[in-house]
Amino acid sequence: MIVPRGYADKIVYSVNSNVTANAEQVLNNQADVFDPGDTLPASLLQQVKSQASDRYKPVPTNSTFYFWFGITQKPFNNLAARQAVLAALDLRALSRIDSGFLEEDCHLIPPGIDGGGDPATCPYHNPNSAPNMTKAKQLMQQSGMIGQPVTVYGEDRAPRRQWLDYFTSVLNSLGFKATEKVVNSGVYFTTIGAPTLKPQVGWGDWVQDFPHPWDFMQLFAGNAGSSLNYGYVDDPHYNSALNTLFQKDPKSVASQWAALDNYAVGKAYYAAYGHEQFPKFYSNRLNFSAGVMSVEYQTDMTSLQLK
């Protein structure tokens, strides 16, 4: 019988923005827990799967990655321009950049939450297949926004920087004159949320705070403030539906939540592209099965046990 040495008496946090170095340390048992908020780099993934298969597992979480549009200014105050971007976005590409950890979906509400949408209902194209460039280019012609300069905001941390590169490349392929603004991850959200900045478009993500669809949909509420609603969306129908549905048991109105999500996708207020699987990856010092990955708090530190 293996008697565990017990729970940890002390937990030491080491902050390092080099994700590859962090993963190598856990792989080589020089560190114990890989931050699940980071993505395991693709260059190490095969090695992790082959050498550490007993201490690695991807865990689905209730989180969504998306690009938001600043809808109060050109060019994304134009619906056709926004829709063109959604039609041109290849969600498979974004998933590959994330080492395959994304479940592709155009909806904001993750599948693990009441009202989580069915990717098959995505209006522009199937998230698991190629984008619809013909439709995208038609929408761009219709919008009259070809040649408009656009600055895309994103974080410097991998793979967010690579997502930013890809998204900018898509905008340029549509005819925008897009450039990037890479902001340090430590100050990214305060930067884009500053009321004086009013960025045109940028990257965002949300991890569930509590298991309710409102937790995700409130990001685009008119009264959410610039620190959440970076695009300054203020749709009366959306706001009213949000307030109404919030009063009710989410299970009983799950289909209405899904419909609201579809409504927002149709209006292209955001270009959601997937829900992350977080890596549960420990060193061989820890009892892997005892460690708990919480959808709210990710690694439950109180559950960590030495073997």
Partner 1 sequence: MIPEPDSGHGQAELVAGASPGGTAGIVTAPGQQVTDPWAEGRHPPAIGPWKLAARRLRRNYVAQAFLVLFLMIVVACLLAPFYASHIAHIGPNTNNVTGTINIGGKTTDVVSTDGVPIGPTFSSRYFFGADSNGRDLAVRLLYGGRTSLIIGGIGTVIIIFFGTLVGLLCGYFRGVPDMILRPLMELIWSFPVVILGVALGTALALGGIGPVKGNSLYIPAFIIGVVFIPYLGKPIRGEVLRLREQDFVEAARVQGMGSWRIMLSEILPNLMSMITVFVPMMLAYAILLEAYLSFLGAGVQAPNASWGTLISDGLAYIQTTPTYSLVPGAMLVLTVLSINVVGDGIRDALDPRAQVRVRT
Asked if 242 interacts with partner 1 (CB under 8 A), we say no
If the CB atoms of residues 157 and 267 are measured against partner 1, the closer one turns out to be 157
Inter-CA distances, 286 with 4, 26, 98, 253, Å: 9, 11, 26, 42
Of the candidate residues 103, 165, 205, 234, the single one contacting partner 1 (CB under 8 A): 165
Question: Which own/partner contact pairs does 43-46 have at CB distance under 8 Å and 24+ positions apart?
Answer: 44/20, 45/99, 45/100
Q: Which of the ranges 3-11, 160-168, 210-218, 226-234 carries the binding residues for partner 1, by CB under 8 A?
A: 160-168
Of the candidate residues 57, 137, 181, 198, the single one contacting partner 1 (CB under 8 A): 181
How far is residue 144's CA from residue 142's CA, in Å, rounded to a whole number?
Answer: 6
Q: Which of residues 121-150 bind partner 1 (CB under 8 A)?
A: 130
How far is residue 148's CA from residue 176's CA, in Å, rounded to a whole number?
Answer: 5
What is the enclosing helix (H) or strand (E) of 152?
A: strand 149-155
Asked if 168 interacts with partner 1 (CB under 8 A), we say yes
Of the candidate residues 79, 182, 228, 259, the single one contacting partner 1 (CB under 8 A): 182
Asked if 162 interacts with partner 1 (CB under 8 A), we say yes
Asked if 19 interacts with partner 1 (CB under 8 A), we say yes
Check if the beta carbon of residue 178 is closer than 8 Å to that of residue 202: no
Q: Which of residues 62-121 bind partner 1 (CB under 8 A)?
A: 90, 92-100
Q: Which of residues 243-302 bind partner 1 (CB under 8 A)?
A: none
3-class DSSP state for residue 207? strand
3-class DSSP state for residue 8? coil
If the CB atoms of residues 197 and 306 are measured against partner 1, the closer one turns out to be 197
Nearest to 34 by CA among 110, 99, 104: 99
Q: Which of the ranges 30-38, 113-121, 138-146, 163-171 carries the binding residues for partner 1, by CB under 8 A?
A: 163-171
Inter-CA distances, 222 with 63, 127, 133, 181, 231, Å: 21, 28, 31, 26, 10
Of the candidate residues 73, 172, 223, 244, the single one contacting partner 1 (CB under 8 A): 172
Q: Enumerate binding residues for partner 1 (CB under 8 A).
A: 18-20, 41-46, 90, 92-100, 130, 156, 158-159, 161-162, 164-166, 168-170, 172, 179-182
